[in-house]
Amino acid sequence: MSSVDLRQISLSFAGREVVKDVDLMVPSGSYTVLLGPSGCGKTTLLRLIAGIQAPDQGQVWIADKNVTKVPPRARNVAIVFQNDASYPHMSVRQSLEFSAKSPAIPRSFTQTSDRANDQPSQSLDRAIELTRISHLLDRYPDRLSGGELRRVAIAKAVAQNRQVLLLDEPLAALDATASAELEIDLVKLHRECGMTVIHVTHDGREAMRVADHIVVIGTGEASGQIIQEGSPNHIYAHPNSLQSASSLTAIPLNLFNAELTIANGVKTIGIRDHDVTLHGEGSDWIHQIGDIANPTLIIAVRPEDVRVVSDLGECTMATGMSLNVERCRAQNAMGQTLWTSLDNDTPRFALTAPSDNTSSELRQVRFEIELARLLFFADNNGSIGPS
């Protein structure tokens, strides 16, 4: 296993800085996901690690060795591109055999590897078994589905017997079934191989399912920069910015503008622009938000954290937030219900809940959110809630 260490890496294209002073330590043997929207620089980071792209400044270290000027074939890494090309004149078996015979890497990179002495045939058999493609060996690329082509590409990378595996959007453009199956097999492959995996994706839910370490890459002014990293559970529970919080949800966050005011030493929060009620004003939980005087806040609510109350009776929550909606639409799909507000006087609001075969449209509904599920951010995008 090999760690990957990026030190003060920067890179510009045509005067535009796409990677900005990145410091990143990928632990040896980890499954690390680089998460961010298209164009944020995450694939560029992958190419810098592989040696396909050279940084303008900074260093790339692999297995405690500076490889910044080492060519790609000598870096002890294998990469699977998002659109990995297969040799059209070769069967799957021939393509794998060709990959398994790729040039050897320097002894200094392999002497600590448990698999350093594996013969090409052993690596090949292992790759076929781990990716479950034994039934595809005699087929040619034009006879393979998208999911099968992706499995073959991963098997080719595994057959090279490298210590670091780089995956560029490995589940993109696959149908739901193929994506789900390959996702499970990637986690299993990592567990059984023990190699360091760096996986690029824009899908936060995918990252949560496969990673043991997530690195969130920013967009906008923070494009090309790491804005947060940590375990999936930590980033989900304690996002340090709206960008981090948004990166882990499939449905956009519900956002509310608010103001924290202080009167006679008592802190209260007021929701601006629409009628949303906060329960527990002046109680101790307000002090968790911070000691900033009179800040403008954004309250973020994940769709999965909202409870539906079918009438507008008395709220039972001691602390939290409630929103009354005159009209609401429910869309049932795959065991989940997506609720969206139809009231023009209410901001766009959505939530997901287990499907209960409700009618497609409801009137007089209350959405309730417990305090522990609310995320507080300053207008400058920084978190000011408890961490």
Domain ranges of the chain: 4-238, 254-378
Residue 330 has pLDDT above 90, yes or no: no
Lowest mean pLDDT among 254-263, 301-310, 326-335: 326-335
From first CA to last CA, the distance across the chain in angstroms is 32
Angle between helices 120-131 and 146-159 (to 10 degrees): 150
Contact 347, 274 (CB under 8 A): yes
What band does 327 get if pLDDT is binned at 50, 70 and 90? low
Torsion of CA 159, 163, 166, 167, to 10 degrees: 50
**CA gap 8, 226 in Å, rounded:** 12
- The Cα-based distances of 283 to 267, 300, 306, 319 in angstroms read 8, 20, 22, 9
Residue 109 has pLDDT above 90, yes or no: no
Residue 306 has pLDDT above 50, yes or no: yes
**More confident of the two residues 292 and 269:** 269
What band does 141 get if pLDDT is binned at 50, 70 and 90? very high
**CA gap 206, 179 in Å, rounded:** 10
What band does 303 get if pLDDT is binned at 50, 70 and 90? confident
**More confident of the two residues 60 and 283:** 60
What mean pLDDT comes out for the span 182-197? 92
**What pLDDT, on a 0 to 100 scale, did the predictor assign at position 187?**
93
**What pLDDT, on a 0 to 100 scale, did the predictor assign at position 267?**
60
**CA gap 145, 296 in Å, rounded:** 52
**CA gap 236, 49 in Å, rounded:** 27
Tell me, yes or no, if the pTM score tops 0.95: no
Exposed/middle/buried for residue 51 (C-beta within 10 Å: 0-12, 13-18, 19+): buried
Structure tokens at 124: 């090949």
> What are 10's strand-pairing partners?
57
Residue 249 has pLDDT above 60, yes or no: yes
**More confident of the two residues 92 and 367:** 92
CATH 3.40.710.10 fits 4-238, yes or no: no
SS3 sequence of 322-362: EEEEEEEEEEEECCEEEEEECCCCCCCCEEEEECCCCCCEE
Which residue reads 């079918």 in tokens?
Answer: 310
**CA gap 151, 183 in Å, rounded:** 11
**What pLDDT, on a 0 to 100 scale, did the predictor assign at position 26?**
96
Residue 282 has pLDDT above 50, yes or no: no
